[in-house]
């Protein structure tokens, strides 16, 4: 079978191809493997094997439920929702809560946080990464998750609403409260606004 030019295909087109021929699911997996793995690592304290297990379960459930995919949603929102549910199930099974998050911040994420929270631009970015990691680790899970969606995953309110199965107004409230909690923790540190 010749290699498809998947970079030119939308998620929906790949879903349609997968429904016709199951081997095309590999292209969806390749597209979402890294983003979902980063999401799992950013939100959990799982070791690499546990994170891979959650990812694998996400792909299995996605594949088996592909016929039920609601085409009115973005595929990315739908697969993130499945991943979100897998994370929650994994926490329940292992009776652990996320403790320390994966702190692989790129400059775009740091800039977004600096702008959104009016952080002094003269601050050392490595120092700021360390502080952000510490603050994110102590935020309530529901607040950490929406900030990860906003700053790290680049999700808009509609996508967050679809993933979390909450109205957009609730998502806006969660983000507002998350920012408030983040700011309070930031004020307790020595970072200048």
Task: For the chain, give the percent of residues with pLDDT over 90.
Answer: 50
pLDDT for residue 64 = 95
pTM above 0.85, yes or no: no
Residue 176 predicted with pLDDT over 80: yes
Angle between helices 48-64 and 25-43 (to 10 degrees): 140
Q: Where are the domains of the chain?
A: 6-94, 107-188
pLDDT tens readout for residues 102-116: 555 666 666 777 777
Quickly state the pLDDT bin for 19 (edges 50, 70, 90): very high
Quickly state the pLDDT bin for 193 (edges 50, 70, 90): very low
**Rounded to whole angstroms, how far apart are CA atoms 55 and 57?**
5
What's the topology of domain 6-94? Rna Polymerase Sigma Factor; Chain: A (1.10.1740)
Residue 98 predicted with pLDDT over 70: no
pLDDT for residue 66 = 95
Q: Residue 190: which of 123, 136, 140 has the closest Cα?
A: 123
Q: Round the average pLDDT of the chain to a whole number and report it.
A: 84
Determine the longest span between alpha carbons in the chain, in angstroms.
Answer: 58
**Rounded to whole angstroms, how far apart are CA atoms 59 and 35?**
13
What's the topology of domain 107-188? Arc Repressor Mutant, subunit A (1.10.10)
Residue that wins the pLDDT comparison between 119 and 51: 51
- For the chain, the straight-line distance linking the first and the last C-alpha, in angstroms and rounded, comes to 56
């Amino acid at each position: 079978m010749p290699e498809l030019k998947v970079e030119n295909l939308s998620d929906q087109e790949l879903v349609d191809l997968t429904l016709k021929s199951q081997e095309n699911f590999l292209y969806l997996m390749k597209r979402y493997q890294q983003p979902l793995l980063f999401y799992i690592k950013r939100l959990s304290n799982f070791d690499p094997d546990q994170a891979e297990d959650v990812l694998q379960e996400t792909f299995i459930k996605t594949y088996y439920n592909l016929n039920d995919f609601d085409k009115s949603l973005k595929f990315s929102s739908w697969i993130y929702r499945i991943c979100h549910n897998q994370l929650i199930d994994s926490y329940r099974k292992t009776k652990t809560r996320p403790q320390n998050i994966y702190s692989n911040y790129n400059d775009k994420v740091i800039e977004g946080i600096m702008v959104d929270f009016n952080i002094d631009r003269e601050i050392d970015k490595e120092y700021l990464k360390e502080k952000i990691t510490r603050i994110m680790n102590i935020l309530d899970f529901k607040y950490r998750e929406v900030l990860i969606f906003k700053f790290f995953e680049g999700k808009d309110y509609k996508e967050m609403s679809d993933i979390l199965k909450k109205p957009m107004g609730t998502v806006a409230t969660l983000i507002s409260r998350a920012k408030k909690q983040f700011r309070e923790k930031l004020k307790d540190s020595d970072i200048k606004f």
